[in-house]
Chains A and B, each alone.
Chain A
Amino acid sequence: MLDTAAIEVENVSITFDGVRALDRCTLRVEKGESLGIIGPNGSGKTTLLNVINGYYRPEDGRVMIFGRRIDGLPPHRISRMGVGRVFQVTNVFKNMTVLENIMAQGVWMKERKNLRSRALEIMDLVGLPRNLKDELAGNVSGGQQKLVDIARALLPQPEILMLDEPVAGIHPIIKEKIIEVVDRLRRDGKTLMVVSHDIPSILRMVDRLAFMNAGSILMVGDPDEVRRSSKVVEAYLGV
């Protein structure tokens, strides 16, 4: 049991209309670690998260969560195993209030009571002011919607949280909040996968960094080392 990782991706490949979005991609995320993924646009980062979530079924290879094989399971099953996801595009139920948005994630949960108080606690945790709870989610700022998105993902207390570009295009003040929240989750021992273009921000949220290009992970290691590697510099400047 000692060597089960939180997430294991082994030789996963997937093709869309002839484009090889993932090409024998292999990656291992240990329990309690926070792994960052960087890579040029279109290198397959989002697709990798989508495969882990179960939105796409890999053509080849396997995916395991806590040692259990999950490729082929439907998204809601994987979600209920404790895998949270914050999408690249901010996604809220626009005509529901902020609080209802967060609580919607708990509809299926066994626990009958406390849904509301738990949702309120999570609002505090991500730094959403409580007086926003009755606002329609469509009416709060873009950055606050992102916080709602993150709060929703956190409601079932997932062991693993995957965040896709959580700070892209976000107002600097909220961006700071988001980085703090992710950092706190990391210190609390959650397993995290963070995809971002923003290298200074990602360095504050992760323990290790992976570099992805053309559908494969080319390098994983100490953030500073990866960042300075000639392969990475080339890929970024070369495109």
Chain B
Amino acid sequence: MKAGAILAAVAVAILLSIPIIAAGNNFVITLGFIFSVYIILALAWNIVGGYTGMLNLGHAAFFGVGAYTLALSTGAGIHPYIGVMAGGLAAVGLGLLMSPLLRLRGDYFAIGTLSLAEAIKVAVLNIHAYGIRVTSYEGLGRVENYYFVSAVLVAVGATTYLLQRSRLKLALVSIRENEVLANASGINPLKYRVIALLLSGVFTGIAGGIYGYNLLYIPAEHVFSIEWTIIPLFMVLIGGRGTLTGPLIGSFIYLGIYYVLQFTLTEISLLAFGLVVVLIIKFMPQGVIETLFIRTLRIKRVSII
């Protein structure tokens, strides 16, 4: 446990010192920013996809709604960071709208959320075919945005850490494992699933907002793109779902593979990436954490909470 705390402290220290180390190197700061956004999304997706086991294929909608809300708020003269938080709030609203879908069986939930996200995307594209411009704010630039996103990352990490130790996790995982039995133990499945979806939504909406502000231009096609669902999903599945370390490790593996492929195999990177995904699911269906660390290295599992 001590080792974990030290590791976490070191990670946060590195996270916060990147702009200082990078010393104005925009590429490094931007890369750090993007990576942080992806990791936030992975941890947020994991709250629903990992702990409740409901495959949310509409996650991108939270992101897009967050970005769009930010753009609309700055347009109305609101401080951008308040607009970002409003993005999180809007995503919560969307989560409430989505929550009736949580009654559905797993595969229908996947279809339903995917279609809802696509519907929202098409509807937005119909209004803004290209996207909208964001009004920039004096003194809030790349570095400030980086710190903002770091704070969100730390918040979602801490939330997951606390969730790990909460009764909420017991409820979510028991519903995932056996809904009938959980219900017989006095647990109301819908209620807990909604809580998880809203938590997942708020962080993703905020991430979408800050991402949008950092871009200063919000192409609808891009912020509502399904990649904001699929990439976090891969990160979580690669690492292992329903844990804190799984999505983190998965994110690093994913980003590593992805960027290496991008720079080496530019042409066929997507193809190679598809192969990697298929192989991981085939040979490590439980994710890297379970397969490598717990089975192969025999690291002991503990009941936390």
Instruction: Give A residues with C-beta under 8 Å from B.
Output: 53, 75-76, 79-80, 85, 91-101, 103-108, 115-116, 133-136, 152, 156
Given A76-B188, A104-B170, A93 contacting B305 (CB threshold 8 A): no
Choose among A79, A80, A93, A99 the residue that contacts B173 (Cβ–Cβ < 8 A).
A93
- Extra contacts besides A104-B187, A116-B305 (19): CB < 8 Å: A76-B185, A76-B186, A79-B185, A80-B186, A91-B178, A93-B177, A93-B178, A96-B170, A99-B303, A100-B170, A100-B173, A100-B303, A103-B170, A104-B173, A107-B171, A108-B185, A134-B300, A134-B301, A134-B302
A residues in contact with B301, CB < 8 Å: 97, 134-136
* B186–A107 CB distance below 8 A: yes
Chain B, range 171-214, C-beta contacts under 8 Å to A: 171, 173-174, 177-178, 181-188
Indicate whether B167 reaches chain A with its CB closer than 8 angstroms: yes
Residues of A within 8 A of B174 (CB): 93, 96, 100-101, 104, 107
CB pair B303 A107 closer than 8 Å: no
Distance A85 CA – B181 CA, assembled complex (angstroms): 11
Which residues on B are within 8 Å of A, measured CB to CB? 167, 170-171, 173-174, 177-178, 181-188, 300-303, 305
10 A-B pairs whose Cβ atoms sit less than 8 Å apart in the complex: A76-B188, A93-B173, A95-B173, A96-B177, A97-B302, A103-B170, A107-B167, A108-B187, A115-B167, A134-B302
In order of increasing CB-CB distance, the 3 nearest A-B pairs are A93-B177, A99-B303, A104-B174
Complexed CA–CA distance, A134 and B167 (Å): 17
A104 to B179 Cα, complex, angstroms: 12
Chain B residues with CB below 8 A from A91, complex form:
178, 181
Q: How far is the CB of B163 from chain A (nearest CB, A)?
A: 13
Q: Nearest chain B CB to A97's CB is how many angstroms away?
A: 4
What residues on A are CB-neighbors of B185 within 8 Å?
76, 79, 104-105, 107-108, 152
Tell me whether B184 and A95 are in contact (CB under 8 A).
Answer: no
* Residue of chain B at shortest CB distance from A93: B177
Chain A minimum-CB-distance residue to B181? A91
**Residues of B contacting A95 in the complex (Cβ-Cβ under 8 angstroms):** 173, 177
With A and B bound together, what is the CA distance between A98 and B183 in angstroms?
A: 18
Whether A79 touches B170, Cβ cut-off 8 Å, given contacts A116-B305, A134-B301, is no
Given the complex, which residues of B lie within 8 Å of A100, measured CB to CB?
Answer: 170, 173-174, 303, 305
A133 to B167 Cα, complex, angstroms: 17
Q: Write the chain A residue with the least CB distance to B302.
A: A134
A96-B174, A103-B170, A104-B174 known; A79 vs B184 contact (CB < 8 Å): yes
**Residue from B171, B188, B302 within 8 A of A104 (CB atoms):** B171
Residue pair B171, A94 in contact (C-beta under 8 Å)? no
CB distance from A221 to the nearest CB of B (A): 32
A237 vs chain B, min Cβ distance (A): 36
A80 to B187, CA, bound (A): 10
Q: B184's contact among A76, A133, A156, by CB below 8 Å, is which?
A: A76
Contacts of B171 in A (CB 8 A): 104, 107
In the bound assembly, the distance between CA atoms of A100 and B187 in angstroms comes to 14
Across the interface, name the chain A residue whose C-beta is closest to B171. Answer: A107
Give CA–CA (A98, B301) in the complex, Å.
11
* A115 contacts across to B, CB distance below 8 A: 167
Q: Is the CB of A75 within 8 A of B183?
A: yes
Contact A93 B186 (CB under 8 A): no
Collect the chain B residues with CB atoms within 8 Å of residue A116's CB.
305
* Bound form: Cα–Cα A103–B167 in Å: 9
- Bound-complex Cα distance A156 to B187 (A): 13
CB distance from B49 to the nearest CB of A (A): 15
- A93-B177, A94-B177, A134-B300 known; A103 vs B305 contact (CB < 8 Å): yes
Provide the bound-state CA to CA distance between A79 and B180, in Å.
13
